[in-house]
Structure 1
Amino acid sequence: MPKVGMEPLRRKALTDAALRTIGQHGSLGVTMSEIAKEAGVSAALAHHYFGSKEQLLNETIRELLRQLRRDAVEALAGAETPRARLSAVLRVSFAAEQFTPETVAAWLAFYVDAQRSEETRRLLVVYARRLRSNLLSALGRLCPPDDAARIAEGAAAMIDGLYIRQSLRSAPISSTASVALVEDYLEAQLKGFVR
């Protein structure tokens, strides 16, 4: 029986290892044994904590989403104006730990998996809705509702597109440059609206 307090640490180690392993392979075609080895535990222990590879992968997505949520709550708490809130959402979207090559590759692998897995699709819809909600919360105070919705969709598409470009690795763009590109888009879209 695991020691009290060890289970959360081991579960986190396994989700972190899953993220790294998927990122290194560039697909979800990894085994529990490979993930367990990366985490420094046995495959049996990985199965004990998660049951199946699919459950471990879903928990890995959930952990990414939880981290994004924690980062967003913290960043938004310090943003005093609607425009500052938009910038905070962008910084969180391109935070260093979210924008590593391995994490980007894992996100893309999850998007591919969403074509066959209802659970993966559901989790990614949660991400998309949360991003849109965070953008709309700020944009709704800066421009009319129809414009806010259009601009939010454009910003979200740019964020997702920059992740896809990052995955190409042939011409990686930095986190800072990615934020600047989306900031430029937002400034152009918001020009003319009273702020």
Structure 2
Amino acid sequence: MPRIGMEPLRRRALIDAAIDAIGERGSLEVTMAEIAGRAGVSPALAHHYFGAKEDLLLATMRHILAELGRDLGEAVTGLEGLARVRAIIAVNFSQKQFRPEIIAAWLAFYVAAQRTPALRRLLRVYARRLHSNLVFALRPLLERDEAERTAEGIAAMIDGLYIRRALKDGPPDAASAIALVEDYVALRTGGLRHG
């Protein structure tokens, strides 16, 4: 007889196991059995909760994006201008986000999005939200076109720093990543460092 309330816990355990497996492998080439084993459940139960492996991987990316969105919402509450931009940058390089297994998952999902329409749509939603959050924060400081261009540059730097981090050994250096992006912001906003 199934235990009541176990489904959310098992789903979360499978998502965490998928993140770990993808992080270790560096790709989405992981099996449902491997993920289930890491989560301490049977492959049949994993299929029961998620269906195909692709469904579990999509749920995993949704989970990563939902956590990022919650953290971002909390970080920017009550902030404007450069303080809001800095908060957006900091969340993207937070200890929860900028860790090896999440970095590997992001890269694997970006690659998979080239051939998986559902992942592509999900990543486009993420990109649009990041862009609109940045433009909103930059509009009091820059003309519309400049705010758009600067937001695009910040997003590209965030993505690029995740890629560069994936190519290095050792723990991620969030402080240097944040400093690089903030230097770019300072250049684009005319050297304004406070706000």
Q: Which residue of 2 aligns with 1:158?
A: 157
Could you tell me which amino acid in structure 1 is paired with residue 41 of structure 2?
Answer: V
Q: Which residue of 2 aligns with 1:63?
A: 63
Q: Which residue of 1 aligns with 2:23?
A: 23
Are the aligned partners of 1:165 and 1:172 in contact in 2 as well (CA < 8 Å)?
Answer: no
Give the 5 Å matches for 1:69-148. 69-79=69-79, 81-148=80-147
Could you tell me which amino acid in structure 1 is paired with residue 153 of structure 2?
Answer: G
Q: Which residue of 2 aligns with 1:186?
A: 185
Shift of 1:102: 1.3
Distance 2:32 2:69 in 1: 27
Could you tell me which amino acid in structure 2 is paired with residue 180 of structure 1?
Answer: A
Could you tell me which amino acid in structure 2 is paired with residue 67 of structure 1?
Answer: E
Are the aligned partners of 1:166 and 1:173 in contact in 2 as well (CA < 8 Å)?
Answer: yes
Inter-CA distance 178–45: structure 2 relative to 1 (3 Å threshold): same
Q: Which residue of 2 aligns with 1:42?
A: 42
CA-to-aligned-CA distance 1:135-172 (integer Å, 9 cap, x gap): 11100111110000000000000000000000002486
Are the aligned partners of 2:130 and 2:155 in contact in 1 as well (CA < 8 Å)?
Answer: yes
Distance 1:172 1:145 in 2: 38
Inter-CA distance 156–15: structure 2 relative to 1 (3 Å threshold): same
Are the aligned partners of 1:31 and 1:53 in contact in 2 as well (CA < 8 Å)?
Answer: yes
Distance 1:16 1:63 in 2: 9
Distance 1:115 1:183 in 2: 30
Distance 1:104 1:182 in 2: 17
Shift of 1:188: 0.8
Segments of structure 2 that go 5 or more residues without pairing to the other structure are none
Distance 1:171 1:33 in 2: 29
Could you tell me which amino acid in structure 2 is paired with residue 111 of structure 1?
Answer: Y
Could you tell me which amino acid in structure 2 is paired with residue 15 of structure 1?
Answer: I
Q: Percent identity?
A: 58
Distance 2:171 2:160 in 1: 12
* Length-normalised TM-score, structure 2: 0.94
Shift of 1:192: 6.6
Count of residue correspondences: 194
Shift of 1:54: 0.3
Could you tell me which amino acid in structure 1 is paired with residue 23 of structure 2?
Answer: G
Are the aligned partners of 2:23 and 2:100 in contact in 1 as well (CA < 8 Å)?
Answer: yes
Are the aligned partners of 1:108 and 1:164 in contact in 2 as well (CA < 8 Å)?
Answer: yes
